[in-house]
Chains A and B, each alone.
Chain A
Amino acid sequence: MTTTQAPPPPFDPELAAALNAVADQMPSSVTPELIPLMRQGGGALAQLADVDLTRDGRFTIEDRTVPGPDGAPDISLLICRPTQATGTLGCVYHTHGGGMIVGDNRSGIGEMLDWAERFGLVVVSVEYRLAPETPHPGPVEDSYAGLVWTAAHAADLGYDPDRLIVAGASAGGGLAAALALLSRDRGGPALLGQMLIYPMLDDRNNTPSAIQMAGLGVWDRTSNQTGWGALLGDAAGGPDVSQYAAPARATDLSNLPPAYIDAGSAETFRDEDVAYASRIWQSGGRAELHVWPGGFHGFDLMVPTAAISQDAREARLHWLNRLFNA
């Protein structure tokens, strides 16, 4: 069968305008040479400058060092506990985004704190080691070690272990999906849910959306190759990639905690994210899928004021509300 490449879906107007305004600061294609620059905060995936994580005293903030994976260094967990919550607390264990190559455990923490205030959650965000200095399985094993510690210390942290979810965006979404697989396969912590925000799931990097969006928007196919290449080296896209590195590789998606998956229609990850949800359903599992028309990768982080970003965040809250207040 021959295929002609269809044009990409148009960006949402407000997102297109924002992209237009900051185009010179937002290379669609991140190459390995750009990794040091991005880590300095100059690139597209730089996190917000340090903000007041206590939110005027509504959270206590602690960086706790806990054991890492066997034979690996200790890891640091950012622990944010709500001071005014009443009733039984839950916990969101957060794996940050940044293509496996940039970011820290403060990245993307704002939305976690929003959820924590709304639903009474302790936020734990793991500082996993980054690729390429630490290739697979370092990042996911660091993340899993932190999850195991967090689950074992539920009483210490003051939350109900039956109300523990994993959540992450982009590479962090991929890690969260991998944590759900690892917990299932190793008999690890029971999870109430997995929140996968436009997750990075498939190292093969060859879906129609990846091809369609090459050179466009945010985190295009080249950027994705940079991320997977850093994590997996030459093995990326090959036959022997672990499902815990790239959850799209998993052959069994049954018996997983309920998943929330979202993506933009105009991003590299669209098709792998839709496929992941479909395969969970095909395995008899529970998943909720939202594809936001005209959304580029990370649209709600970059343009939180846009109408579609507000809707995307609202939809996540609705799911969390059903999960925690069922």
Chain B
Amino acid sequence: MRDLAVRLAALDEDAGAALRVIAYFDGLIEAGAGLQSIVRGAAVLADCPARLDDEARRVHIRVLPDGVSSPAPQAFDAAWPHLAAGSVTVRLERTGPPGPVDAMVLERAVSAARTVLDRTRGRAPAADSTALVELLIDASGPADARLLAARHLGLPAETTAYVLVRPEGVFINGDEPTSGRAGIGPTVPVLDLPASHVAARTALRFTAAGTEEDPGPQVVSYAELGALAALATVPDPGAVPDVQALDHAAAAAPWLLQTLHAVTTTTSLRAAATTLRVHHSTLQDRVVQAEHLLSWSVREPHGRLRVQLALALRRLHRNP
């Protein structure tokens, strides 16, 4: 009896070889094969060591062409043929010319591995992890259910993590966005993530669009808010007189909010002028006009504090 590898190798670059690769991986999935089997299939069909790495799920598998599992002796070589999909990467440890079915093996192995990983280990912590994340941040959920959800998301019970909230969703250990608003909760043990989530939501309320009408930081970390976080408990921040004064003044001078934000978040008028990209004397004129509109000083410490608090309350009002 000829073994499978011999049979497939004999087919060489024949189009039939690709069809057999497809049939092989389809067969694995239909029969409910696991990840080891998929990586083994890649190694056997490509006739070289194959590896699968999924950093997000902390899965690392390597199999030799004779089907024996073997831990990776060294880091991967970027020159090896490889294919990634989502958080899964499959690599063939081949230097030199590619084998006849390498491309097809990579494509089918990655696809099969994703199917299995999604089925057995939960989806990677990405946009499609909604249900597990919701379970994880639900303080009313039982602890064991939340630990299970954490494990499915690739978070062992003993690790710490944080919640990042964006207007479009909730992320565990999410990266700070390069654009758009985000609130970041404190780093806590996995079971305390509901508290990190509440804090991240609060932080998100302090964020701003970063525009002329809504100046301020797009990303806010709860830990850096300090005592300002207490403002989040104000029942109707839009009703605070200083906030109304800001809006009233801004209606008369469209540059006002951005100017006040710059003046109260820098250490000198010169620095504020640079941030705003206006001439120092122009800024001097605006500050005088702003103080007139608000009827309080924005350069004295107390006046600066009033402006900062009013701007913060205005954001809380805009982000209920």
Contacts and interface: CB of A to CB of B under 8 A. Distances in A.
A306 B27 CA distance: 14
A12 B27 CA distance: 10
Contact of A17 (B2, B6, B33, B68): B33
A48 B65 CA distance: 18
A17 B25 contact: yes
Contact of A307 (B5, B28, B36): B36
B28 A14 contact: yes
Interface string A101-116: 0000001000000000
B1 A21 contact: no
B100 interface: no
Contacts, number: 93
Contacts of B5: 305
Contact of A305 (B4, B32, B34): B4
A46 B2 contact: yes
B8 A21 contact: yes
Contacts of A25: 7
A25 B28 CA distance: 19
Contacts of B31: 10-14, 16-17
A20 interface: yes
A18 B24 CA distance: 6
A6 interface: no
B21 interface: yes
Interface in B33-55: 33-34, 36-37, 40-41, 43-44
B26 interface: yes
Interface string A12-31: 11101111111101000000
A44 B1 contact: yes
Contact of B23 (A10, A21, A47): A21
Secondary structure call for the B interface:
helix
A19 B66 CA distance: 18
A112 to B, nearest CB: 15
A25 B6 CA distance: 13
B20 interface: yes
A304 B67 contact: yes
Size class of A's contact patch?
A: 20 to 34
B3 interface: yes
Contacts of A16: 27-28, 30-31
A20 B24 contact: yes
Interface residues of B, number: 31
A22 B28 contact: no
Interface stretch (A74-82, A273-281, A295-303, A317-325): A295-303
Contacts of B34: 13
A45 interface: yes
Contacts of B23: 17, 20-21, 23
A65 interface: no
A310 B27 contact: no
Interface string A262-292: 0000000000000000000000000000000
Contacts of B3: 48, 301-305
Interface in A34-50: 44-48
A306 B40 contact: yes
A13 B37 contact: yes
B7 A22 contact: yes
Contact of B1 (A19, A20, A45): A45
A16 B29 CA distance: 10
| Residue from A21, A44, A301, A304 with most neighbouring chain B CB atoms (10 Å) | A21
B1 A298 contact: yes
Contact of B44 (A12, A46, A47, A305): A305
A14 B37 contact: yes
B28 to A, nearest CB: 4
Contacts of A307: 36-37, 40, 67
B17 to A, nearest CB: 10
A45 B20 CA distance: 19
A21 B20 CA distance: 5
A25 B31 CA distance: 20
A58 B310 CA distance: 88
Nearest to A294: B31
A55 B22 CA distance: 34
Nearest to B41: A17
B261 to A, nearest CB: 61
Nearest to A306: B67
Contacts of B43: 305
Contact of A13 (B1, B7, B28): B28
20 contacts: A13-B27, A13-B28, A13-B37, A14-B33, A16-B30, A17-B23, A17-B24, A17-B27, A17-B28, A17-B37, A18-B4, A19-B27, A21-B24, A22-B4, A22-B7, A22-B8, A25-B7, A302-B4, A304-B67, A307-B37
Given A302-B2, A307-B67, A309-B67, 11 more contacts: A13-B31, A14-B31, A14-B37, A17-B27, A17-B28, A17-B41, A21-B21, A48-B3, A48-B6, A305-B44, A307-B36
Interface of B: 1-8, 20-21, 23-28, 30-34, 36-37, 40-41, 43-44, 65-68
